[in-house]
Amino acid sequence: MSGLKAMSAQRDIAIVAFHQSDCQASAGATNEVELIMPEIRAVMDQVGLHNAQDVDFVCSGSCDYLQGAAFAFVAGVDALGAVPPIRESHVEMDAAWALYESVLKIRMGHADSALIYGFAKSSPGELPIVLSQQLDPYYLAPLWVDTVSLAAMQARLMLDAGKITEADMAAVVSRSRRNAMNNPHAQLAGDLSVEALLQEAPFVSPLRRHDCSPVSDGASAMIIATVEQAEAWGKPYAILRGIDHRIESHNLCTRDLTDSPSTRRAAEAAGVADGAIDVAELYAPFSHQEIILSRALGLGEGTRVNPSGGVLAGNLMMASGLSRVGEVFQRIVSGEARRGVAHATSGPCLQHNLVAVVEAA
């Protein structure tokens, strides 16, 4: 096992602060820097820090294509107060992977603390079409197969295999919308019954519109540190006990799309099964994917899944994965849960999956 949790001699990582913006269908005139600044401010205030000068490392996650301009992430540096210069890096991935990079940096002893943030303004483009250009550029991208259609094929496979029913999918949505009523940052919330949801017309069959996460603009930010640093700051924290991620084949035809072996592998490496899971926040952009993920993670009756409403209630591209970790952190610090699992995904039909285990300190 080469996951991070296996290295018992390594430094424990504390999650100390997290904040997420509202999920908005459109942030209007607000640009990326203006989306990021309030989130950085919020996590700095939680810890009592001034700006990025007060942490040892900064790492962000974003995607140029969402905005439609090369080097879109460079503007993010303007939100940090990076004068004098700072130790900083960026992944063109969800910020959950920026968290992963930051954890490595702390574990190798080059940093005792890190600021992580993710952001996107997806509303200016047509997100499912933009993401179609994530596919193999010679065979698939020229077909412009959008992400919703690919997910619909995955849902069809599950329905035909008898692994789920449409009512199961509607139940996921119903719970998400209801949970989101307690989430001030959610974009979609409400008390909708399974029966009512099943009355809705198909969107991209067999998916109904509510089976698909909305497109949201926004950002989220997190501060992590060694336990010693967190103690010195004197703020409540949770322990990031394990984190691991795995990718699988890009060739959809060779994958069993009704399962997520990469999630299962990441869960093993992160140590999900080492204890009871009170809460799980899963990055499932489509309702049926939450079921695939719950099964791959081995979650049972005792686990509350997506108490925030998950991304079906609001999906901040490039930040939703980090936000899942943040949501679990908040529930542990508040005493609502003692041990939780957070998940992030990337690529078509859950191609790439990250799993983190967060525990009470």
Residues within window 65-124 making contact with another protein, judged by CB under 8 A: 65, 67-71, 73-75, 77-93, 97, 100-101, 103-105, 107-110, 121, 123-124
Indicate which single residue of 45, 48, 136, 275 sits in contact with another protein (rule: CB under 8 A): 136
d(C-alpha 42, C-alpha 25), whole Å: 22
CB 321, CB 96: distance < 8 Å: yes
Query: Which residue, 220, 210, 218, 166, is CA-closest to 188?
Result: 210
Which tokens go with 252? 């959809």
**Residue 109 — φ and ψ, nearest 5°?**
85, 10
Q: For residues 254 and 334, which CB has a smaller minimum distance to another protein in the complex?
A: 254
Asked whether position 253 contacts another protein by CB under 8 A, the answer is no
Q: For residues 33 and 194, which CB has a smaller minimum distance to another protein in the complex?
A: 33
Indicate which single residue of 30, 153, 178, 206 sits in contact with another protein (rule: CB under 8 A): 30
Asked whether position 351 contacts another protein by CB under 8 A, the answer is yes
Smallest gap from residue 66 Cβ to another protein (A): 9
Q: For residues 69 and 161, which CB has a smaller minimum distance to another protein in the complex?
A: 69
**Residue 212 — φ and ψ, nearest 5°?**
-110, 140
Q: For residues 218 and 347, which CB has a smaller minimum distance to another protein in the complex?
A: 347
How would you classify residue 318: left for phi > 0, otherwise alpha for psi between -120 and 50, otherwise beta? left
Smallest gap from residue 79 Cβ to another protein (A): 5
Q: For residues 182 and 251, which CB has a smaller minimum distance to another protein in the complex?
A: 251
Which tokens go with 310? 């998950």
The three-state DSSP-derived secondary structure of 197-227 is HHCCCEEECCEEHHHECCCEEEEEEEEEEEH
Sign of the dihedral through C-alpha 316, 345, 337, 227? negative
Asked whether position 250 contacts another protein by CB under 8 A, the answer is yes
Q: For residues 227 and 360, which CB has a smaller minimum distance to another protein in the complex?
A: 227
Report CA 129 to chain centroid distance, whole Å: 21
Count the residues of the shown chain that bind another protein, applying the rule CB under 8 A. 88
Give the binding range for another protein (CB under 8 A) out of 4-12, 150-158, 163-171, 271-279.
4-12
Of residues 208-247, which lie at the interface with another protein (CB under 8 A)? 244-247
Query: Which residue, 9, 62, 56, 52, is CA-closest to 32?
Result: 62
Q: For residues 169 and 296, which CB has a smaller minimum distance to another protein in the complex?
A: 296
Smallest gap from residue 212 Cβ to another protein (A): 19
Asked whether position 1 contacts another protein by CB under 8 A, the answer is no
Neighbours of 64 (CB within 10 A): 13
Smallest gap from residue 322 Cβ to another protein (A): 15
Is residue 249 classed as helix, strand or coil in its secondary structure? coil
Indicate which single residue of 23, 130, 173, 292 sits in contact with another protein (rule: CB under 8 A): 130
Asked whether position 202 contacts another protein by CB under 8 A, the answer is no
d(C-alpha 75, C-alpha 82), whole Å: 12
Pairing of strands 279-281, 339-346: parallel
Examine residue 137 and say whether the peptide bond preceding it is cis (omega within 30 degrees of 0).
Answer: no
Q: For residues 18 and 65, which CB has a smaller minimum distance to another protein in the complex?
A: 65
Site string for another protein, 316-345 (x = CB under 8 A): ------------------------------
Which tokens go with 260? 């997520």
Q: For residues 105 and 210, which CB has a smaller minimum distance to another protein in the complex?
A: 105
Site string for another protein, 262-301 (x = CB under 8 A): x--x------------------------------------
What DSSP character marks residue 280? Answer: E
